């Protein structure tokens, strides 16, 4: 399989995993609070990845000089990101949360330019603009109203900026660390950071709540797909084509979320949503035309 196709497929798979995670989080809320959900998904994900890496002998030992970068990586994601996302989704709908997260590509070029002096082509910028226009169509009602609590929006945007911090720090991680090793270390850091919050805030709730099978399955799915496979796929793609180009794919999250919400939660998809979905997809592919044409990678 050509490498450029592997990159695109990896990024698409990560977006699908993250898109359906918005639905799984809502299902997990039936029994668990946000911090509990994140803590358990990180514990399960970390253990699973450590076992896989040990059996395959692919775990790269952590060097002392890289500890600070992995701590920062784990602080931005999963810790800060999930503090924003999981608490934000308690207030806003899964679709609205997905739409806010999809604004990441708006800030990615700024971060790329400020920290790495990267250049974007006209097609890259055009694709970002077109794709975000599609997101706006998905956000607003026909009368241009947007109903969502401000605190929920603020928490979701905290997750957005955490993603940007994660992307910047990821560039500092030496190339000899494979994607699975990176995700394993960042999840371990996230688990350690969430542990005191879980003990102090949520322990009593977990021991006294009725736990449903659906909520447990949702947490397991979040652990395997959203906290493990999605990060592995996205890390691989981002390290190949750069922050800005990889993050354009984030615009597809509300597209997939709308589909899964219709399929699993019976939410309606009207003509306006279909138009927005088509524009988002079109913008993503336009932004990648340079990659498909000559296989360029950002320096």
- Let me know if 52 is exposed, middle or buried by CB neighbors in 10 A (0-12, 13-18, 19+): middle
Residue 69: the pLDDT is: 95
The pair of three-digit structure tokens given for residue 36, joined into one six-digit string = 């509990």
% of the chain with per-residue pLDDT over 70: 89
Q: Is 11's pLDDT higher than 80? A: yes
Q: Is 288's pLDDT higher than 80? A: no
Confidence of residue 194 (pLDDT cuts 50, 70, 90): very high
Q: Is 268's pLDDT higher than 70? A: yes
Q: Is 198's pLDDT higher than 70? A: yes
- How far lies 127's CA from each of 106, 249, 251, in Å? 11, 10, 11
Residue 272: the pLDDT is: 80
Residue 299: the pLDDT is: 36
Cα angle vertex 131, ends 126, 133, to 5°? 100
Residue 170: the pLDDT is: 86
Residue 294: the pLDDT is: 45
Residue 152: the pLDDT is: 85
Of 237 and 242, which is predicted with more confidence?
237
Helices (H) and strands (E) in the chain, counts: 16, 0
Confidence of residue 106 (pLDDT cuts 50, 70, 90): low
Residue 291: the pLDDT is: 47
Residue 181: the pLDDT is: 92
Q: Is 114's pLDDT higher than 80? A: no
Residue 71: the pLDDT is: 97
Confidence of residue 94 (pLDDT cuts 50, 70, 90): confident
Neighbours of 214 (CB within 10 A): 13
Q: Averaged over 115-135, what is the pLDDT? A: 77
Q: Is 189's pLDDT higher than 80? A: yes
d(CA 133, CA 254): 13
Q: Is 296's pLDDT higher than 70? A: no
212 φ, ψ to 5°?
-95, 155
Q: Averaged over 195-210, what is the pLDDT? A: 93
Per-residue pLDDT reduced to its tens digit, 43-77: 999 999 999 899 988 899 999 999 999 999 999 99
- Residue 178 in 3-state DSSP? coil
Per-residue pLDDT reduced to its tens digit, 12-43: 999 999 999 999 999 999 999 999 999 999 99
Mean pLDDT of the chain, nearest integer: 85
Q: Averaged over 265-285, what is the pLDDT? A: 80
Residue 290: the pLDDT is: 55
CA atoms within 13 A of residue 122's CA, in its CB half-sphere? 0
d(CA 52, CA 183): 12
Given a contact cutoff of 8 angstroms between Cβ atoms, the answer to whether 15 and 253 are in contact is yes
Secondary element (H or E) of residue 44: helix 34-56
The pair of three-digit structure tokens given for residue 270, joined into one six-digit string = 């009207």
Confidence of residue 148 (pLDDT cuts 50, 70, 90): low
Residue 50: the pLDDT is: 94
């Amino acid at each position: 399989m050509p490498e450029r196709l592997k990159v695109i497929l990896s990024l698409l798979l990560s977006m699908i995993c993250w898109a359906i995670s918005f639905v799984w989080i809502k299902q997990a809320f039936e029994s668990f609070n946000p911090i509990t959900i994140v803590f358990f998904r990180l514990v399960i994900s970390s253990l699973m990845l450590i076992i896989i890496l040990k059996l395959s002998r692919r775990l790269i030992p952590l060097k002392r000089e890289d500890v600070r970068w992995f701590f920062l990586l784990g602080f931005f994601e999963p810790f800060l990101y999930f503090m924003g996302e999981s608490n934000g989704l308690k207030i806003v709908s899964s679709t609205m949360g997905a739409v806010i997260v999809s604004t990441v590509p708006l800030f990615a070029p700024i971060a790329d330019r400020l920290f790495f002096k990267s250049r974007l082509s006209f097609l890259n910028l055009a694709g970002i603009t077109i794709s975000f226009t599609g997101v706006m169509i998905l956000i607003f009602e026909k009368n241009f109203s947007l109903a969502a609590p401000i605190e929920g929006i603020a928490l979701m945007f905290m997750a957005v900026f955490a993603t940007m911090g994660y992307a910047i720090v990821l560039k500092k991680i030496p190339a000899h660390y494979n994607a699975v090793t990176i995700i394993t270390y960042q999840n371990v850091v996230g688990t350690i950071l969430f542990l005191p919050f879980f003990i102090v805030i949520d322990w009593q709730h977990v021991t006294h709540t009725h736990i449903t099978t659906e909520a447990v399955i949702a947490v397991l799915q979040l652990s395997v797909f959203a906290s493990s496979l999605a990060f592995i796929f996205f890390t691989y793609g981002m390290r190949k084509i750069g922050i800005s180009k990889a993050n354009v794919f984030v615009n597809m999250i509300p597209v997939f979320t709308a589909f899964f919400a219709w399929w699993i939660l019976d939410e309606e998809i009207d003509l306006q949503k279909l138009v927005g979905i088509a524009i988002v997809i079109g913008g993503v592919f336009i932004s990648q035309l340079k990659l498909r044409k000559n296989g360029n990678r950002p320096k």
